[in-house]
Amino acid sequence: MVDDYIQVKHGRQDAAYAHPVMREILEETHGVMVYQEQVMRILNRLGGIELANAYTCIKAIGKKKRAMIAKFREQFVEGVQANGMSKKEGEDLFGLVEKFAGYGFNKSHSTAYALIAYMTAYLKAHWPIEFMAALLSSDMPGRNFKKKDSLVEHLEDCQRMHIEVVPPNVNRSGGDFGVRDGKILFGLAAIKGCGGSAAEAIERERRQGGPYRSLFDFCERLDPGTVNRTAIETLIKAGAFDALGARRAQHFAVVERAIQSGAAAANDRRRGQMSLFGDLADQDAADTTASMPDVPEWPERDKLAKEKEVLGFYLTSHPLAEYRETLDQFCSHSTVAAAALGHRTEVTLGGMIGSLKLAHTKNPKPGRPSKYAMFDLEDHAGLLRCIVWPEQYAELAELVQPDAILIVRGAVDKRPGSEEANLIVNDLIRLEDAPSRLTAGIRVRIVEQQHGQHGLEQLYEILRGYPGSCPLHLHFALADGTQVTCHCKKRVEVNAEMRHRVDELLGPENVRIVATSRPGGNGR
């Protein structure tokens, strides 16, 4: 086997490879140097370098310490000559060792990794729900709530695997992610501000005293020293009390009263005092939801922002959900795909402005603007840091607002040797302006059997009312199966009103915007 490999790989039977020691070392991996241990044995048994020094040599090669490498090369060549090999053979062999050591890996590590990979693959294939719940629980410590962390990525994997993750619920969730009825229950300890001890106390009291009946009941049954105000407020923001029947804004409005009620109950417990009207008190706690203040629910965007604050992601919906069709239509990449592109690649992205910061350049040129903006552009995939330099900011300042949803055109900026990327913004476009500014044409499909002659005549009447500069393409699907596309001389203006009228007539699936040439291809 080794001889066959050497013959194929090198075209000849080199003495270095034919050496008994070399053959013995390569035999276990069928003639290929795979592990660091093999390199160390070659250095040790052929070159006479002590094992400790052989390991030092490998590290020196990995860190490209040329002076130290040269010292070991000389020692190795002398050692192989003492073992009956020529100086050239020794130099050639050290060259292979030097090349290999740059990417070799430890045998014990690789064996352990292979075993773990097999075990996890087996569990994921045969017990996917339990496996993903355990994986999510393992990623709870040290969560990053400002950027997309591994827990959020695993939740996205669950979605792709069609595994339902049930939102947090004080009456169902435990501290860790759990499994019930073929679904994953969200772990309370994964919520910002609700640590493991608070989550354990919530679960323990629920097992002993039954489900919580209201926020007041919750506060009265739990020690405020363990489940404090911060934990309660983050649980409300995360929707963990939604199942108790009141809106989040209502729960937030009575937090102070509920905490005071809980503190009074805790004092009574410490003094060993029981309520003379215990049953009535229990009934009051159960009926508190009905007497909640009649306050409106938080605005949808505010509600989602609070979810993301404490969960690290949007759970019930996404602020961009209603704009997804427009963003998909006009954007060339997602933020994550754009960050992986090369330096100066031009892209068109879309999303919501967050973490906005304004500053001034240190050495502005006389008479030139100095104010610039930095912000995170967030879309469904993640976020990307964007920079609007002074010249562009002077023109686009009115569009750079917190939570604004925009289309952004710019170039990827990466420093040499760095994987981190920014986007240098060249232009910002309001979503409502995207059709007029980014549309290269409009394609309308007329299905003969569905729309007929009358539908075509109505379409003509609609389009003639919107003259403009946008090319119009009509695609006819005839009853006999023939497909015909006509590029019309007449041009139209594409706006929301025209789109709405054509959609109503033909159905939205029969109208498509042809976007302007999108740089860099489609990375969505």
Q: Which domains does the chain have, with CATH numbers?
A: 2-107 (no CATH), 127-291 (1.10.150), 321-431 (2.40.50.140), 436-515 (no CATH)
Cα torsion angle, 220, 224, 228, 229, sign: positive
| pTM (predicted TM-score) | 0.64
Extended beta strands in 306-361, E state: 346-360
Q: Comparing 18 with 238, which gets the higher pLDDT?
A: 238
Question: Residue 59's pLDDT band (boundaries 50, 70, 90)?
Answer: confident
Produce one character per residue of 467-501: b if its CB has 16 or more CB atoms within 10 Å, e if not. ebebbbebebbeeeeeeeeeeeeebbbbeeebbeb
Q: Two tokens at 25?
A: 């070392």
Please state, for a pLDDT cut of 70, what percent of the chain lies above it.
87
Query: For the chain, what is the largest distance between any 2 Cα atoms, rounded to a whole number of angstroms?
Result: 100
Comparing C-alpha atoms, which of 192, 171, 294 is closest to residue 237? 192
Q: What pLDDT score was predicted for residue 374? A: 95
Give the integer Cα–Cα distance in Å for 141 and 32.
41
Confidence at 489, pLDDT banded by 50, 70, 90: confident
For tokens 């009456």, the residue is: 171
Q: How far is Cα 23 from Cα 90, in angstroms, rounded to an integer? A: 15
Across the range 365-371, mean pLDDT stands at 87
Q: 476 near 483, Cβ under 8 Å?
A: yes
Task: Answer whether 246's CB lies under 8 Å from 215's CB.
Answer: yes
- Which residues is 476 bridged to in the sheet? 446, 484
Taking a C-beta distance cutoff of 8 angstroms, is the pair 316, 304 a contact?
A: yes
Positive or negative, the CA dihedral 429, 496, 354, 385 is negative
Q: Helix (H, G, I), strand (E, B), or coil: what is residue 376?
A: strand
On the question of pLDDT at 8 being above 50, the answer is no
- pLDDT of res. 203: 95
Strand partners, 446: 476
CA distance 262 to 14: 83
| Statement: residue 15 has pLDDT above 90 | no
Q: Which segment of 67-71, 113-117, 477-481, 492-496 scores lowest on mean pLDDT?
A: 492-496
**Helix, strand, or coil here: 524?**
coil
Tokens representing 272 are 């060993």
Tokens representing 27? 């035999």
Q: Which residue in this structure is represented by tokens 């355990």?
A: 134
Residues 6+ apart with CB under 8 A from 431: 323, 326, 350, 405, 406, 407
Q: Cα–Cα distance between 214 and 257 in angstroms, integer?
A: 13
Q: How far is CA 102 from CA 34, 113, 116, 186, 419, in A?
A: 12, 20, 25, 43, 21
**Per residue in 192-230, pLDDT tens?**
999 889 999 999 999 999 999 999 999 999 988 899 999
Those residues whose C-beta lies under 8 Å from the C-beta of residue 375, and which sit 6 or more positions away, are 353, 354, 355, 356, 357, 385, 386, 388, 400
How confident is the model over 273-278, as a mean pLDDT?
A: 51
429 band by pLDDT with thresholds 50, 70 and 90 = very high
Overall average pLDDT of the 146-167 stretch: 87
Q: In one letter, which amino acid is 279?
A: D
